[in-house]
Amino acid sequence: MKLIAKVIFAVIFVSICIDGVSQTARLKRANAFYEAGGYFEAVELYRRDLDKVPKEEMGVYLQRIAECYRLMGDARQAEIWYSKAIMRDAPDPKVFFYYAEMLKMGEKYDEAIEQYQKYKELVPNDPLSAVRVESCELAKKWKETPAGYEIVNMRAINSKQSDFSPAYASDDYTTLLFTTSREEATGSKNHAGTGEKFTDIYISQRDKRGTWSSPRSLDESINTPDDEGTPSLTADFKKMYFTRCRTSKRNKLGCEIMLSERTEQGWLSPVAVPIAADSMVVAHPSISADELTLYFVSNIPGGYGGKDLWKVTRTTPSDSWGEPINLGPEINTPMNEMFPFIHSDGTLYFSSDGHPGMGGLDIFRATPLEDGDGWKVENMRYPINSPSDDFGIAFEKEREAGYFSSRRRDLGARGGDNVYLFYLPEILFNLIGEVRDDKSGGLLADANVQLVGSDGLIADTKTKDDGAFRFMLNPNTDYVLVASKTGYLNGRGRETTKGITESTDFEMTIKLTSTARPIELPNIFYDYDRWELRTESMAALDRLVEVLNENPTIIIELGAHTDSRGTLDYNYDLSQKRAQSVVNYLIEKGIPTERLRAKGYAQSQPKVVDALLQQQYPFLASGAKLDEKLIDKLSSEDQKETVHQINRRTEFRVLSTDYKAQ
């Protein structure tokens, strides 16, 4: 966990009662350090005198040691000591909750769920246990389906200590400020809470070759022997807000936001921004692009628990700041929300250990609702977030890229917190397609293919000799493709890139139907000896309506065919009525009467077996005419009935392609 965050965490979340238990002088000193946030000093003193603690009091002290490690950001040691405290019957139920927290940060999600459930049994009214169980389930899913970001460790600026909370200091993104507790930091003392130096703000610059300079301390006017960090600069980079936390060895003196202006000679001596009393925590500033809103974290009264995100506003950049305004329950939880960053587009990014997340602090994106009242909060998921603490993000204005800090242990991490580069690689979508004849399967060259996107894009191309075509697609767009070729009905395809976060090659085949032959309409049903359409026929006819709308210049004939049973005159009359019923349906659907002809063929045109029909009915030979002569030769009544059924069909054929709407 972060150094300045440790200062503002000095008021711990659980109260472990040690009053009345046996205490040596060293244990009393440890308790004093602990209460003042001096966890690094306290844990060593606790461990040195553990052998002097009575057996019945051991669980209490073991839990305190675990708390020290947790608040120092050492999840692995905290996990070990919480486990020991549970084995020695630590009386505080929170021991199970924080043991689960450490297991979660170690990616031991199933074990963590068991401990959260034990805590829930002891404290059934605390809603956090349900949130944490949900977090474990989500974390497993997010690891399996990562977001598309690439993450790179900034080894050029990271030290063996903690480096965090990066901020851009130039509009070309070649100057970076960040917070560090490296050995070279100002002052000669180490922080009692961390064992590391008090933090300073450092600067690094990138040259034309992309190489970052060795980090150096910002001006002496900024860095002091106290903690300085979490810088936020105005849009013109001439003013800097940052946090300064003052501590003594055994007292918490609070944090405040400072403001400094840059001149040609450097940064001027900062002044405090008056927001709350000196004893309160006011930290982690983020200034809006128009300089009219300042976001920050604080424990001032009126919050939702833990540390909350607040803001102050003003009418013009020269005005004084107004009263603090809490960002509300969509943002703030009973736990902690910290490290805000306000993007120039109005999106708020922050870290929280109260919303469902992967481990410790996770980074969240909060988008203002359209009515301006509230926020939509989303976890940024893996790999931006990890089982460890992730926080302090900074974005470029124009693209999904920037820097953040994390305590994760992979990607070449060194020391405590590290600064990482992140970016969303350019996502490329290619549509690779082909146009084929729907009967023969042959590839159709020189067919026109038009692409129409929901973003307004319209593009045309022609298929190559191999029937192929290709388009590049845009993100978050729905597409319709229409293929056309002389002598064929238009064909259509659909594709979408919405919700896809990785480069993808889409494949599509559009099949065109030749107008040189009749086209059978499948699944057109009538009751025996009747011509009224049955309900099951509507889907096929609705598809014919689409074909007619997609081919607005064609005039078609609807032909109905019967089998050979019954008199020729009767079947002509029946088939004509059936064809007309189809025409009537199409007219009801808005197709102009002038585009439709009804024709009853009775049994005068027996079906000719094609390759597809022969494949479906192997007892029929390809090219055979299904007339009475063939039917009489069939060996079974079932085969004869099948042929009669094949002959009973409704087809359409294109009469002309020159219809013009009146």
Which range (452-456, 482-486, 521-525, 582-586) has the least confidence? 521-525
Give residue-wise pLDDT tens across range 274-319: 998 877 899 999 999 999 999 999 999 999 988 999 999 999 999 9
Q: Which of 98, 117, 144 is the endpoint of a domain?
A: 144
pLDDT of residue 195: 87
CATH code where residue 135 lies: 1.25.40.10
pLDDT of residue 259: 98
Do 349 and 237 have their domain in common? yes
554-583 burial, b at 16+ Cβ within 10 Å, e below that, comes to bbbbbbbbbbbeeeeeebbebbbbbbbbbb
Helix extents (H) in 445-537: none
Report, as an integer, the average pLDDT of 36-60.
Answer: 92
Mind giving me the DSSP string for 488-510? B--EEEEEE-TT--S-EEEEEEE
Q: 376 CB contacts (<8 Å, ≥6 apart)?
A: 330, 366, 367, 368, 369
Report, as an integer, the average pLDDT of 241-247.
Answer: 90
Do 224 and 97 have their domain in common? no
Report, as an integer, the average pLDDT of 26-35.
Answer: 91
Q: Which long-range contacts (CB under 8 A, 24 or more apart) does 603-610 make?
A: 603/561, 603/562, 603/563, 603/564, 603/568, 603/571, 603/647, 604/568, 605/559, 605/561, 606/564, 606/647, 607/561, 607/646, 607/647, 607/649, 610/439
Share of the chain above pLDDT 70, in %: 95
Whether 451 shows a pLDDT value over 50: the answer reads: yes
The mean pLDDT of the chain is 91
- Tell me whether residue 501 is in a domain: yes
Pairing of strands 429-437, 504-512: parallel
Helix (H) and strand (E) counts for the chain?
A: 13, 32
CATH code where residue 260 lies: 2.120.10.30
pTM, full prediction: 0.69
Task: Return the residue matching tokens 């480069």.
Answer: 503
CATH code where residue 632 lies: 3.30.1330.60
Do 465 and 534 have their domain in common? no
Token digits for 420? 């990482």
d(CA 57, CA 63): 11
pLDDT, greater one: 410 or 376: 376
- Tell me whether residue 150 is in a domain: no
**Closest to 26 in 3D by CA, of 43, 11, 6, 10:** 43
Whether 252 shows a pLDDT value over 80: the answer reads: no
pLDDT of residue 482: 95
Report, as an integer, the average pLDDT of 320-345.
Answer: 96
- pLDDT band at 10; cut points 50, 70, 90: very low
- Tell me whether residue 662 is in a domain: no
Cα distances (angstroms) measured from residue 494 to each of 44, 177, 308, 353, 477: 66, 48, 47, 42, 11
Give residue-wise pLDDT tens across range 595-643: 999 999 999 999 999 888 899 999 999 999 999 999 999 989 999 999 9
- Tell me whether residue 207 is in a domain: yes
Do 397 and 472 have their domain in common? no
- pLDDT band at 13; cut points 50, 70, 90: very low
Do 435 and 416 have their domain in common? no
Sheet bearing 649-656, strands edge to edge: 519-521, 649-656, 555-561, 596-602
**Closest to 607 in 3D by CA, of 596, 617, 594:** 617
Do 386 and 450 have their domain in common? no
| Other residues' Cβ atoms within 10 Å of the Cβ of residue 343 | 19
Do 413 and 435 have their domain in common? no
Q: Collapsing DSSP states into helix, strand and coil, what is residue 320?
A: coil
- Tell me whether residue 149 is in a domain: no
Do 536 and 474 have their domain in common? no
- pLDDT band at 251; cut points 50, 70, 90: low
Whether 12 shows a pLDDT value over 70: the answer reads: no
d(CA 76, CA 477): 45
Max mean pLDDT among 273-287, 318-332, 367-381 falls in 318-332
AA identity, residue 113: I
Q: Which of 423, 448, 479 is the endpoint of a domain?
A: 423
Do 131 and 200 have their domain in common? no
d(CA 526, CA 533): 5
Which range (4-18, 363-377, 379-393) has the least confidence? 4-18
**Closest to 457 in 3D by CA, of 474, 433, 482:** 474
| Other residues' Cβ atoms within 10 Å of the Cβ of residue 535 | 7
Give residue-wise pLDDT tens across range 487-518: 999 999 999 999 887 889 999 999 999 988 88
Give residue-wise pLDDT tens across range 550-574: 899 999 999 999 998 889 999 999 9
Task: Return the residue matching tokens 């070279």.
Answer: 184
Do 631 and 573 have their domain in common? yes
**Closest to 491 in 3D by CA, of 521, 534, 447:** 447
- Tell me whether residue 151 is in a domain: no
d(CA 225, CA 386): 32
Residue ranges making up the domain that contains 246: 158-423
Cα distances (angstroms) measured from residue 498 to each of 141, 429, 471, 504: 20, 11, 16, 12
- Tell me whether residue 68 is in a domain: yes
Q: Kindly state the helix (H) or strand (E) to which residue 105 belongs, with its residue range.
A: helix 94-105
Give residue-wise pLDDT tens across range 350-368: 999 999 999 899 999 999 9
Contact present, 42 and 33 (Cβ < 8 Å): yes
Q: Which of 489, 512, 535 is the endpoint of a domain?
A: 512
CATH code where residue 438 lies: 2.60.40.1120
Do 392 and 437 have their domain in common? no
Whether 223 shows a pLDDT value over 90: the answer reads: yes
- pLDDT band at 248; cut points 50, 70, 90: low
pLDDT of residue 539: 87
- Tell me whether residue 111 is in a domain: yes
pLDDT of residue 11: 38
d(CA 535, CA 527): 11
Q: 303 CB contacts (<8 Å, ≥6 apart)?
A: 310, 326, 332
Report, as an integer, the average pLDDT of 100-124.
Answer: 96
Report, as an integer, the average pLDDT of 5-12.
Answer: 46
Do 97 and 198 have their domain in common? no
Contact present, 280 and 262 (Cβ < 8 Å): no
Whether 412 shows a pLDDT value over 70: the answer reads: yes
Report, as an integer, the average pLDDT of 14-33.
Answer: 72
Tally the domains of the chain: 4
Whether 52 shows a pLDDT value over 70: the answer reads: yes
- First and final CA of the chain: distance in angstroms? 75
Q: Which residues pair with 520 in a beta bridge?
A: 651
Give residue-wise pLDDT tens across range 157-214: 999 999 999 999 999 999 999 999 999 999 888 888 888 999 999 999 999 999 999 9
d(CA 552, CA 484): 12
| Other residues' Cβ atoms within 10 Å of the Cβ of residue 28 | 13
d(CA 99, CA 254): 29
